[in-house]
Structure 1
Amino acid sequence: MERRGFVSAAGTLGALLFGSETASATREQRGTQPQDARPSPPAKTVLHLSSGETAAYKGALMNAQNLLADETVPVTELVFLSNGPGVKLYTPPGRENDFADRINSLQERGVSFRVCQNSMAMLDLTEDQLIDGVEPVPSAVGEFARLQEVGYGYIKVP
C-alpha cells in the first residue's frame, strides 16, 4: 500500500509539473497572454467631467495628464468633454477658475476640449466666454454616443 501511494503521488506531481509546462507552451504557440496580463486599452479615449467643484477640475485635468504620461497606454486621441456645471472649467481665469494654462498645455499636446451647448445655455454662457480652442457640441450625451460608436473608450473623471 505504501508503494502505491508513493507512485500515485509521484504521478500526480509529474502531471502537474508537465501539465503546466504544456499549457504554458501551448499558450505561447497560440500567441495568447496569461489571464493576469493587462489588456491593451483603447487608443482613443474620452474623459467626462460634469462636476462644478474646483477640486474636481484639478483632479480631472490631472487624470488627462497622467493618461498622456503613462507610456504603457497607447492613446492616440484624447477628448475632454464637459457638461453640467463642469462647463465652468472652460471659462477664463478668475477667482473660481485658474486652469486655463493647464488646458492650453494639454491642447498643445493634442487634447481636444469640448463643451455641451445645452449646459452652456442652462448656465447662460456664450461661446465668447469660453477659453480659446474649446469646441461646443450640441449635447454631451450625443457626443458620447457618437464617440463610442467610432471606438472611443469612456472614462468618468471627478
Structure 2
Amino acid sequence: MKAVFHQSTDDPGLHDRVLGNVANLLDDETMELDSVALVANSGGLELLLEDSPYRERVERLRERGVQFKQCENTIEGTDISESDLVSGVELVSSGVGELTRLQSSRYAYITP
C-alpha cells in the first residue's frame, strides 16, 4: 500500500495532526506499506522549514522512510530557498501536480 498526506494549511494544530497521522500509519502493524509521502503546498510550507518547531519530528519521520515534498510554486516570490527547508525535502514543480501523479500511481490520498 502507498499513501500520500497533503498539508496546505498554516494551522499549527493541523501540522501536529498530520505528523501524528503519518506516525500512526507507520506504527500500524496491520498495514503493509510500500511508500509514504507528504506533499506540502501553500501554508503547509511552514511545516517543512529548517527553523520550524516541527523540524525534529519531520526528520524522524524522514529517517523512517517518509518522503517529504514541497511545492516550488509556493516558495516562488518569497525569500525562502531550498536551503531553508529541512534537509532531505524534495522540491516538486507543483504540489497539486505531484498529488495528481502520486494518486495516479495508486497512492491513497489523506488530508488531516
**TM-score normalised over the length of structure 1:** 0.68
Q: For the residues of structure 1 that align with 2:77 and 2:5, how far apart are their CA atoms?
A: 21
CA distance in 2, matches of 1:67, 1:123: 33
CA distance in 1, matches of 2:66, 2:91: 15
Q: Which residue of 1 aligns with 2:105?
A: 150
1:82 paired with 2:82, answer: no
Q: Hey, what does 1:108 align to over in structure 2? A: 63
Distance 1:155 1:128 in 2: 27
Q: How does 1:14-53 map to 2 (within 5 A)?
A: 43-53=1-11
Taking the aligned partners of 1:45 and 1:149, their CA distance within structure 2 comes to 12
Q: CA deviation at 1:75?
A: 1.6
Higher Cα Rg: structure 1 or 2? 1
The 4+ residue runs of structure 1 with deviation greater than 3 A are none
Return the offset for 1:124: 3.7
Greater relative CO (CA pairs within 8 A, separation 6+): 2
TM-score, length basis structure 2? 0.94
Cα distance in 2 for partners of 1:124, 1:153 equals: 33
Structure with the larger strand share: 2
Residue 72 of structure 1: which of 15, 30, 42 is its match? 30
Q: Amino acid of the residue matched to residue 109 of structure 1?
A: R
Query: Which of 16, 24, 44 matches 1:58?
Result: 16
Question: 1:68 Cα deviation (Å)?
Answer: 0.5
Q: CA deviation at 1:123?
A: 4.1
Which ranges of structure 2 fall in alignment gaps of 5 or more residues? none
Query: Residue 45 of structure 2 aligns to which amino acid in structure 1?
Result: V
For 1:20, the equivalent position in structure 2 comes to none
Q: Deviations over 1:41-74 (max 9, x none)?
A: xx00100001112111111100000010111122
User: Which amino acid in the other structure matches residue 90 of structure 2?
Assistant: E
Identity of aligned residues (%): 37
Mind listing any 5+ residue stretches in structure 1 that lack a counterpart? 1-42
Over the residues paired in the alignment, what is the CA RMSD in angstroms?
Answer: 1.1
1:29 corresponds in structure 2 to none
